[in-house]
Amino acid sequence: MRRALVAGNWKMNKTIGEARTLALEVAEGVAGEDLSGVEVVLGPPYLALSAVVETVAGGAIGVAGQDCSHHPDGAYTGEVSVPMLTDAGATHVILGHSERRELMGEGDGLVARKAQAASAGGLTPIICLGEPFTTRKAGTTLSRIAHQVEHSIQGAFASPPPGGFIVAYEPVWAIGTGLTATPEQAQEAHAFIRERLEAIFGLECAQETRILYGGSVKPDNAADLFAGPDIDGGLIGGASLKGADFLEIIRAARTDSASI
C-alpha cells in the first residue's frame, strides 16, 4: 500500500522569518489532527532550509532542497551540493522541475546525474517530469513522458531504490497558471508513468513508487485529483505558501489514502 505524500514547493518565496512562521503553522496543523497517514515535505529556498529543519524538528515532516548540483564540491559558483543539503538537515530534493528545465535549460541527462548524486548521498529525489502545452496539443504527451522516464529515471538508476521512486507529474501548462489537468488527464498520465516504470524496473517498484500530481492543486480541486488510483499526492506550489490551504490539501490526501 502506498502512503500519500504532499510536498510544498515554495520556489523563490519566503524570507527566513516567513519560512519559520509557515513551517510552524504546518507543523502545528499536522500535529493537531490525525494526518499521520500522509507524508508531508516542505521545500523552502536554500537560505531558509536550516530554519525550517529546526522548526519542524522532532516531528515527521521532511524538508526538501529545490535543486542540487551533481558535483559534491568544487568551483561551481552559485551551486549547492548534496552533502550541503544533508548537512543542513534536508531529507529530499526536488529535481527536474519544469522551471529549471525551461528557465535554466536543464535536460534529462543532467536531471539523471543529479538524481544519482542525491540518492547516493542519502537524499530522496522527487523527480519531476511533464509536457508543455504544445506537446499536449500535438497529442504526443505520452511519448514525451516515456522519453523523460527513460532519460531522467532509467538513465540514473540501474536498479530502483527500496520503496520505489517519488515522481512528480507536472503538466507544464498547468503550473502556476491556474489551469489544472482534469482528474482524468492526470490519472491517464500517472497510470502511464507507472506502466513505464513497471516495464523498466518491474512490478514491485511500480507499485511502490509514489506519483505526485503538480500543477495548480488547490484546496478545492485536491480531493478530485487525489481520488485517481495512481495519484498518490501532490507537489504543491502556490497553494503551499499559505498554511491553511496547504493543510486543506494534506487533509484531502489523507481521505484518499484510505483507498489506495
Q: Give contact residues for ligand PGA (rule: CB under 6 A).
A: 9, 170, 175-176, 214-217, 235-239
CA distance 216 to 82: 28
- Cα distances from 52 to residues 36, 39, 40, 65, in angstroms, run 19, 16, 13, 11
Number of residues that this document lists for the chain: 260
CB of 184 to ligand PGA, least distance (A): 19
The candidate with the shortest Cα–Cα distance to 97, out of 55, 133, 125, 129, is 129
- What grid cell was written down for 248? 486543506
Catalytically active residues, by annotation? 97, 170
> With contact defined as beta carbons under 8 Å apart, do 65 and 55 qualify?
no
CA distance 199 to 30: 37
CA distance 146 to 47: 35
CB of 11 to ligand PGA, least distance (A): 7
Please identify, using beta-carbon distances, which residue of 65 and 238 lies nearer to ligand PGA.
Answer: 238
Please identify, using beta-carbon distances, which residue of 106 and 160 lies nearer to ligand PGA.
Answer: 106
Phi/psi of residue 228, each to 5°?
-60, 135
CB of 236 to ligand PGA, least distance (A): 5
CB of 94 to ligand PGA, least distance (A): 8
- Cα distances from 231 to residues 3, 39, 142, in angstroms, run 11, 14, 16
| Total H helices, total E strands in the chain | 11, 8
Please identify, using beta-carbon distances, which residue of 205 and 252 lies nearer to ligand PGA.
Answer: 252
CA distance 226 to 92: 22
CB of 226 to ligand PGA, least distance (A): 14
Please identify, using beta-carbon distances, which residue of 94 and 205 lies nearer to ligand PGA.
Answer: 94
